[in-house]
């Protein structure tokens, strides 16, 4: 009789372990890096880098990421400006090559934040220096009903600005 109880307990433990591993394996991984010499205390405004046309794949995704990031950055005391911003944000993303239901799953989203040097314009335009990068990788559902994209953007910007 005790061997049945032991078997049942072992089966329950294995089921819980496998469930945690499967759910954990689907989680979005967040990584970030920044210039440790950069000061973030004086930067209070930002602008989004203009889309480069051909490199952009999904304008709806970009608009949703910008809206989510704007909400978070305003909560952190930043303001979005169209001109003379302190920081410039660009985004990169990649989709899985396989299709899912009605579209593709996002597998990586990166936000790059540059410090803009208004005092030193380059021949190509504004001089900018990468000071922070955050990346979410994993399976990120971009459907409006899903919270995956919001969680990815929140995760990316959670540690921005660094203290």
Residue 4 lies in a domain: no
Tell me if 76 sits within 8 A of 44, measured CB to CB. no
Which residues make beta-bridge pairs with 90?
Answer: 112
Residue 15 lies in a domain: no
Residue 149 lies in a domain: yes
d(CA 48, CA 91): 9
Strand order in the sheet with 125-140: 29-34, 125-140, 103-122, 87-100, 45-48, 79-80
Give the tens place of pLDDT for each residue, 98-157: 555 555 677 888 999 999 876 555 555 566 789 999 999 988 888 777 889 999 999 999
- Structural domain of residue 69, as residue ranges? 28-157
Number of domains in the chain: 1
Tell me if 139 sits within 8 A of 107, measured CB to CB. yes
132 sits in the region (left: phi over 0; alpha: psi -120 to 50; else beta) called: beta
Residue 10 lies in a domain: no
Q: What is the CATH number of the domain that holds 42?
A: 3.30.160.670
Residue 142 lies in a domain: yes
Strands 125-140 and 103-122 turn out to be: antiparallel
Residue 23 lies in a domain: no
User: pLDDT band at residue 97, thresholds of 50, 70 and 90?
Assistant: low
pTM of the model: 0.74
Give the max Cα distance, the chain. 82
Residue 163 lies in a domain: no
By percentage, how much of the chain surpasses pLDDT 70? 69
Residue 87 CB neighbour total at 10 angstroms: 22
Task: Single out the residue of 136, 154, 106, 141 nearest to residue 30, CA to CA.
Answer: 136
Residue 54 lies in a domain: yes
């Amino acid at each position: 009789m005790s061997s049945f109880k032991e078997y049942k307990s072992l089966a329950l433990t294995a089921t819980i372990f496998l469930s945690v591993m499967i759910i954990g394996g689907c989680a979005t991984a967040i990584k970030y890096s920044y210039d440790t010499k950069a000061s973030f205390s004086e930067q209070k405004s930002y602008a989004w880098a203009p889309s480069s046309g051909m490199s952009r794949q999904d304008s709806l995704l970009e608009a949703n990421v910008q809206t989510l990031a704007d909400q978070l950055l305003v909560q952190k005391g930043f303001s979005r400006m169209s001109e003379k911003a302190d920081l410039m944000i660009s985004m990169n993303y990649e989709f899985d090559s396989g299709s899912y239901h009605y579209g593709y799953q996002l597998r990586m989203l990166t936000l790059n934040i540059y410090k803009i040097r208004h005092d030193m314009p380059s021949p190509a335009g504004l001089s900018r220096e990468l000071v922070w990068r955050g990346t979410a990788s994993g399976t990120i559902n971009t459907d409006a009903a899903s919270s995956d994209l919001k969680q990815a953007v929140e995760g990316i910007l959670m540690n921005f600005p660094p203290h």
